[in-house]
Structures are given as structure tokens and as C-alpha cells.
Amino acid sequence: MGSCRIRRTDAIRYESGDLGRLPAAIRYSTVVRMSDQHEITIRGLERRFREGEREHVVLDGIDLDIARGETVALRGRSGSGKSTLLNLIGGIDSPDAGDIRVAGVDVTALTERERTLFRRRHIGFVYQAFNLVPTLSVADNIRLVLELNGTARTAADTRIAELLEAVGLADRADSYPDVLSGGEQQRVALARALCHEPAVLLADEPTGNLDDQSAETVLTLLDKLVRSTGGTMLIATHSNSVASYCDRVLELHNGRFDRDAGQ
């Protein structure tokens, strides 16, 4: 398997014209992030959902610091709020109270449009159900993310080839997702999630739909690729094996962290 030359995102990769189009909060982040101590800082995070008369408190005042380059497993029973927390960190959802800083940006202070831009630049997502675009080839699934980030065509071609080589799918660039196995689809999803060198990778049960051997392959790749970029990773999982790859394990219980095995 070829090596993957992914470099850590830093201020240098933002050309001046590109930087000018970004909201101030995100432009600022590219300057401060290299000296930030924590990639993710959460204070007093609350998320509740209303069902009729009943209010369901899912996250009940969470505090969390994750260092740059750290990999963290997020555990807890079904319904404990793992996906909710990942969606809040990734700016897909908004909290009812509290602050979330990711890569130097106060995500909770951004408008919806700014959050979309922020997510596109700084976050990579991997889901249990792979979520590839079925009408696009493997290469074009990755290209889509690169194009949204303004990567030029030739640079995108190079990057796609590099990543497919890294995930062992160099010969499947023109295949469509429906002819790939689950493990292969998830490897494409990994390449897509990492193609723009995100500061933070959020993975929600990334091995939940895979057999043991495919899960092991995906995990090994995930670990290797994220660590090679110095990226920060948060994985929601029920699996002991996934947790064993991480530097730290957090357990969500009754809206709080019950146990932090790494501190």
C-alpha cells in the first residue's frame, strides 16, 4: 500500500484570495490555530429535545477539552447522545446553551452559512451508512468535496489518486458505490472525509455496518491517516476494538461524561 502524503492544514494553504471570501471568524482561525492548545473546547453544553409536553435533556452541561492530534472514543448506550454531540461539534446542529470552539472558531457564534463554510473547511465526517453519492463515481465523490473547497482540477486529480492509493482502491476510481463492498465504500468515505485535510474528523459508528475484518482494515487506515495529518478525531462507537485505537475513552451517561478513562 502506498504512503499518503497528507500534510496538516495550516494557514499556508489558504491563498489570499480564498481567505478573503471566508467569514472573519474563520479567517481568524487560520491564523490562531497553529498556536492553539486544544482543537476542541466545550463548556456547559446543553441540548434538549421536546416531545409533546416532555422535555428530553440529552446533553446536560458538558465540558470537554480535546488536544490537537488526540483521538477520542465516545461511548455510551444507544440514545445517550453520542451522535447529538458529534453533530453539535460539526456545526450540523445548534446547542440550547454552552460554547463550542473548534479549530479556534466559536462554532456557536457562526451564522448558518458561516457554519456551512466552516464545516466544509475544517471538519471531516464518516458515518455508519457510508453516505456516498450513488450517482457519482468513487473519484467524483472525493472530487465533490475538493471542488467545494476550491481545489484546482489538476491538484484534485493528484489528491484523489494519492488518497485512493492510500486506502487501497487505486483501481476503483471509476467504479460506482453500489458495486463496492461495505468495507470498500467506507474506505472511499474515509478518503472523502480526509481529502481536504480537516482539522477534526468526526466518525459516527464508522465500523457499525462492517464485518470484523473490514472493520479492522477501516480502523487501521483511519488511525494511520488521521495521525499522519496530526488531525484530531472523535469516534462514536459501541465497539471495544474501536475504543482501543484511541488515546482516550469518554462515556456519556445521563447527559454527562460518566467516565474518562484517559485522564
Ligand X SMILES: Nc1ncnc2c1ncn2[C@@H]1O[C@H](COP(=O)(O)OP(=O)(O)OP(=O)(O)O)[C@@H](O)[C@H]1O
Q: To the nearest whole angstrom, how small is the minimum distance from the Cβ of residue 205 to ligand X?
A: 6
To 10 degrees, what angle do helices 153-166 and 182-194 make?
Answer: 140
Q: To the nearest whole angstrom, how small is the minimum distance from the Cβ of residue 50 to ligand X?
A: 8
Q: To the nearest whole angstrom, how small is the minimum distance from the Cβ of residue 84 to ligand X?
A: 3
CA angle 4, 122, 77 (to 5 degrees): 95
Contact flag: residue 263 with ligand X (CB under 6 A): no
Contact flag: residue 58 with ligand X (CB under 6 A): yes
DSSP per residue, 164-191: HHHTT-GGGTT--GGGS-HHHHHHHHHH
Contact flag: residue 232 with ligand X (CB under 6 A): no
Contact flag: residue 49 with ligand X (CB under 6 A): yes
Whole-number Å distance between alpha carbons of 240 and 171: 32
Burial of 149 (0-12, 13-18, 19+ CB in 10 A): middle
The β-bridge partners of 57 are 48
Q: Classify each residue of 44-67 as buried b or exposed e, where b means 16 or more C-beta atoms within 10 Å of its C-beta.
A: ebbbeeeeeeeeeebbeebebebe
Contact flag: residue 237 with ligand X (CB under 6 A): no
Q: Considering CB distances under 5 to 8 angstroms, the limit depending on partner class, which of ligand X, Mg ion, none binds residue 35?
A: none
Report 55-84 residues binding Mg ion (CB under 5 A).
Answer: 82-83
Candidate segments 35-43, 72-80, 130-138, 223-231, binder of ligand X by CB under 6 A:
72-80
Q: Select 83 or 229, whichever has its Cβ closest to Mg ion.
A: 83
The residues, ordered by sequence, that sit 6+ positions from 151 with a Cβ below 8 Å of its Cβ are 159, 196
Contact flag: residue 229 with ligand X (CB under 6 A): no
- Of the residues 82, 122, 143, 172, which one makes contact with ligand X according to CB under 6 A: 82
Question: How many CB atoms neighbour CB 184 within 10 A?
Answer: 21
Contact flag: residue 243 with ligand X (CB under 6 A): no
Nearest to 142 by CA among 190, 199, 178: 190
Q: Select 82 or 196, whichever has its Cβ closest to Mg ion.
A: 82
Contact flag: residue 255 with ligand X (CB under 6 A): no
Contact flag: residue 78 with ligand X (CB under 6 A): yes
Q: Select 83 or 185, whichever has its Cβ closest to Mg ion.
A: 83
β 71-75/97-102 pair status: unpaired
- Of the residues 9, 29, 84, 217, which one makes contact with ligand X according to CB under 6 A: 84
Contact flag: residue 229 with Mg ion (CB under 5 A): no
Whole-number Å distance between alpha carbons of 15 and 211: 42
Q: To the nearest whole angstrom, how small is the minimum distance from the Cβ of residue 83 to Mg ion?
A: 3
Contact flag: residue 207 with ligand X (CB under 6 A): no
To 10 degrees, what angle do helices 182-194 and 212-229 make?
Answer: 10
* Interface positions with ligand X (CB under 6 A): 49, 58, 76, 78-84, 236
* Interface positions with Mg ion (CB under 5 A): 82-83
